[in-house]
Chain A
Amino acid sequence: MSEPLIFELSRPGRRATAQAPLTSVDVDVPEQFRRSSTPVLPEVSELQAVRHYTRLSRLNFSIDTHFYPLGSCTMKYNPRACNQLAMLPEFLGRHPLAPAETAPGFMACLWDLQEILKEVTGMRGVSLTPMAGAQGEFAGVAMIRAYHLARGDDHRNEIIVPDAAHGTNPATATMCGCKVIEIPTGADGDVDLDALSAAVGPNTAGIMLTNPSTVGVFDRNIQAISRMVHEAGGLLYYDGANLNAILGKVRPGDMGFDVIHMNLHKTFSTPHGGGGPGSGAVGVSERLLPFMPVPFVGEAEGGGYRWIDESERPQSIGRLSAFMGNAGVLLRAYVYARLLGREGMPRIAEYATLNANYLMKRLAEAGFDLAYPERRASHEFIVTLKRQARELDVSAMDFAKRLLDYGFHAPTTYFPLLVPECLLIEPTETETREILDEFVAAMAAILDEAGQDAEKLKGAPYTTPVRRLDDVRAARQLDVAWKGEDAA
């Protein structure tokens, strides 16, 4: 199964004639500014375009078609109602600079979402404007930095990051002009308290933590960590990538965190969309309220809502997007939150955790090694194939690719970096027990294959639109744009 490039379907003079104005008018710009060459874009009919992109969609694995246990990504069902309601014509047609008073319904949805997120995170303020998790992280660390600068603590520029953290954490700290201090994870999966104690000091700006962490366990010492960092004058940043594991059960604010970003495309089930758009709303404690990114929604005098911007928040870290963030994504998250309601939120954490622990137990029984066998899994857990790599000469990558042939998207591979040959597996709460059992059966079958014919795994996948791709060639013989038939 494969599909030519849209450019290869192109014929001179063809186009989707219904989609542009029917008459041709002259362009009113002086010669010096005009384009002399015609850009090489496809010339295809509407049907050709529809068929081509529909066929391309069918080359993807997705939640709607496959079990997608990608650890740390929370690939759960994206309810269709969220999309339907966010795409009501009144919302889609709204210009971002139109007066807020003309959109009381839209503003009320965003206000309600801010309030719901404050409640489930235990924070004092929420700003919805960051456009992805990484931008939420940026906002969080920028607020920590702004807090210290406002107190005259210019020297506090060290951000402590555990070695298990997402790559975005150290990258964000660098973007905020901070120095990264990496600390090891203990053998039990919790933060190494001695290492933390040695790392904190007068230059500590804060610590970035994911809890439950990326190794799939809840850090039992979180209150001690919080005390230690606060006593040193630092603040605590909560990476909300794993919020799904604790939603409605425990709150980052109660654990002592000063700032949190939420990946609404994970916990609040807005679509991942092949890699975006995301949404990285941030929540803050009392002391960071003045620094929140703008704009956010406030109550207006005499009822209704309005945007609050820099003019009322002079200490804000400012705006991070041209307008007000990914509004359409926020509407989807709002609809999801209303469908879940008060009762639904803790059920998310409970069943995500149940599915993860069940799957972990069943895989262990099937002969797989767990990275942290003594611990309770959160909503995800790690299998390490270190032993199979040594004994059978197969890698985590081979297992991942072979799973595709069995009709399952692969778990996250080679992350976190500290566990060798690892698969990070997150089943989510929306999967049935039958699917989990089928996944275990597939993993067991692959393990069996590995014992009998390791080469079979190395050649996988066999049933996907393409076989294993040459990534080295992709980087060395860079072909990142179509330049005409001759170049192909």
Chain B
Amino acid sequence: MAFIPHSSDDLSEMLQTLGLSSIDELFDEIPDDLKIGPLEGVPPALSEMETQRLVRERAAADKPLVNFLGAGAYEHHIPAAIWEIVTRGEFYSAYTPYQAEASQGTLQVIYEFQSMMTALTGLDVSNASLYDGGSGVAEAVLMAVRANRKSKSRRVLMLGGVTPAYRHVARNIAGTQGLDLELVPVDPSAGRTPLEALAPWEGEDLTAVVVQHPNFFGQLEDVDAITDWAHRQGALLIGVVNPLSLAVLKPPGEWGADGADVACGEGQPLGVPLSGGGPYFGFMTCKMQYVRQLPGRIVGRTVDLEGKAGFSLTLQAREQHIRRSKATSNICTNQGLMVTAATIYMAMLGAEGLRRVAAHSMANLNRLVDQLTAVRGVELVFDGPRFHEAVLRLDRPAGPVLNAVAERGIAGGYALKNDYPDLGDAFVVCATEVRTDEEIAAYARTLEDVMRRAQVA
């Protein structure tokens, strides 16, 4: 029996201790008509050897693709040491640090993580992480409603450059609490939301404004002006950011005159593998004045009864296990292992390493854009400043072209037709520091070949 250590002597002696003759008697309080027979729909047990064979065969059936996809998940180099350490049993098989004295490793990692995230975002406090970037935006919006006591409207402006999936997640999670999420469309010629687009909401009671920078197209928004505008309306400003970009871009805490109030986003670029969509982690930082509205776990440094420094979960009065129906969120845990990976990643790369990764990603993107736009029928859509992603348009539907490119081993980008019909046959491409000149040239050659073939036209 897999993972059950009992010998037949153990079983009979333990039953004897309990005064029972069979293990089935342990279930005698359960009504008989509820008890089931064998689970016919579950396959029979396999040994580890057989399971390995099965799963390895399946993995081998998957087609390896050279990634030019970003759109919220990014392939970066991950130092070999990171996951060796993260999967040590002492991290891997521990739980939430309820017993602080027996969990100082996990707690100190989270404290270091919180310190690094506040440094990157230029804000005062960080939580221990949320599930992912999308649910992070939802939690940020809910937090703003609690934190902005002056606003009564529960109206939140969501700029059109926020990743479409994040907007949907925010609507699905926050919408159940009567929040009104209003979309401010992107200027389809600029790929950004200019300040003028906010004019219809001038003077209105707004709870928060959500801007993503760099946005879904990789374009840089006018965050200084948008932040100041939001504050003039009495709204909180929520900045959705790629943490890696903050190695080179002005941090949310320095946007406009007073800085963003809350920063959040997807932490995956910091040492977490693509892994088919998860597990990743969401991060969230904010100004100190809002710390009591911050959702999720927070670790604080304190002292023990001998005066020695140590770490524990703090401000737990915000959380569901204490506040129950009045908690800041139903969130229970964080994404512990992912945060451990991100902390080690940031420690190993440091500010200079992160800057190099960001700068090389941008240089590779420029090379990619130059070569792809040299292909007949391909044009660059937005020429504004950008960070490691760009939007290209084809002279024919993008979906079939990208599928044909994928058949040749290249994940060529994400088609925008469904999310942004105004942009026509456009798609967003990405290059990070891991892409080589040869891979970029191979993509250009493949695209040219696919575009030349009449059958995909």
Contact = CB atoms under 8 A, between A and B. Distances in A.
Interface string B94-135: 111111111111101101101110111010111011011111
9 contacts: A2-B104, A41-B350, A62-B94, A98-B411, A180-B325, A249-B35, A272-B95, A327-B277, A467-B306
A116 B278 contact: no
Nearest to A94: B276
A325 B280 CA distance: 9
Q: Which of A27, A97, A413 has the most CB of B within 10 A?
A: A97
A464 interface: yes
Contact of A322 (B36, B169, B356): B169
B394 interface: no
Interface string B390-422: 000000000000010010000100100000000
Nearest to B67: A95
B27 A249 contact: yes
Contact of A38 (B1, B88, B340, B351): B351
Contact of B302 (A36, A170, A470): A470
Nearest to A40: B119
A7 to B, nearest CB: 7
Interface stretch (A79-87, A198-206, A281-289, A384-392): A79-87
A319 B419 CA distance: 15
Interface residue tally on A, bucketed by range: 35 or more
Contacts of B6: 351, 354, 432-433
Interface in A24-49: 24-30, 32-36, 38-44, 46, 49
B165 A167 contact: no
Interface string A169-184: 0111111110010000
A342 B42 contact: yes
Interface stretch (A52-60, A230-238, A446-454): A52-60
A109 interface: yes
A102 B65 contact: yes
Nearest to A432: B5
Ranked 4 nearest A-B pairs via Cβ: A341-B45, A64-B89, A105-B58, A323-B277
Contacts of A250: 30, 34-36
Q: Which of A40, A79, A465 has the most CB of B within 10 A?
A: A465
Nearest to A272: B95
B197 interface: no
B344 interface: yes
A171 B320 contact: yes
Interface in A441-477: 459, 461, 464-471, 473-475, 477
A469 B347 contact: no
Interface string A122-137: 1000000001111101
Contact of A176 (B98, B104, B112, B176): B176
Contacts of A105: 57-62
Nearest to B418: A311
Interface string A376-396: 100000000000000000000
Contacts of A475: 300, 314-315, 317
A325 B278 contact: yes
B454 interface: no
A223 B346 CA distance: 53
A308 B98 CA distance: 39
Contacts of B3: 76-77, 79, 269, 339, 429-430
A383 to B, nearest CB: 17
A254 B36 contact: yes
Interface in A177-234: 177, 180, 217-218, 220, 222-223
A3 interface: yes
A370 to B, nearest CB: 14
Contacts of B338: 276-277
Nearest to A377: B26
Contact of A60 (B102, B119, B275, B305): B102
B14 interface: yes
Contacts of B304: 466-470
Given A19-B348, A66-B102, 16 more contacts: A15-B352, A25-B356, A35-B247, A39-B251, A60-B103, A84-B52, A105-B61, A171-B324, A250-B35, A321-B135, A322-B133, A325-B277, A466-B101, A466-B309, A474-B312, A475-B300
A473 to B, nearest CB: 5
Contacts of B279: 131, 276-277, 326-329
Contacts, number: 669
Nearest to A58: B90
A24 B314 contact: no
B238 to A, nearest CB: 16
B5 A430 contact: yes
A54 to B, nearest CB: 6
Nearest to B23: A350
A482 B112 contact: yes
Contact of B168 (A104, A319, A477): A319
Interface stretch (B70-78, B181-189, B370-378, B440-448): B70-78
B99 A474 contact: no
B176 A142 contact: yes
A75 interface: yes
A358 to B, nearest CB: 5
A274 interface: yes
Interface string B35-76: 110111111111110011011111111111101010111010
B269 interface: no
Contact of B360 (A25, A168, A175): A25
A338 interface: yes
Interface string B331-357: 111111110100110111111111111
Nearest to A139: B172
A267 B63 CA distance: 32
Interface in B269-312: 273-281, 291, 297-306, 308-312
A485 interface: no
B150 interface: no
Q: Which of B41, B75, B291, B350 has the most CB of A within 10 A?
A: B350
Q: Which of A23, A174, A269, A334 has the most CB of B within 10 A?
A: A174
B229 interface: no
A41 B244 CA distance: 13
Contact of A433 (B10, B142, B176, B220): B10
Q: Which of B96, B103, B251, B277 has the most CB of A within 10 A?
A: B277
A90 B64 contact: yes
A322 B134 contact: yes
A19 B353 contact: yes
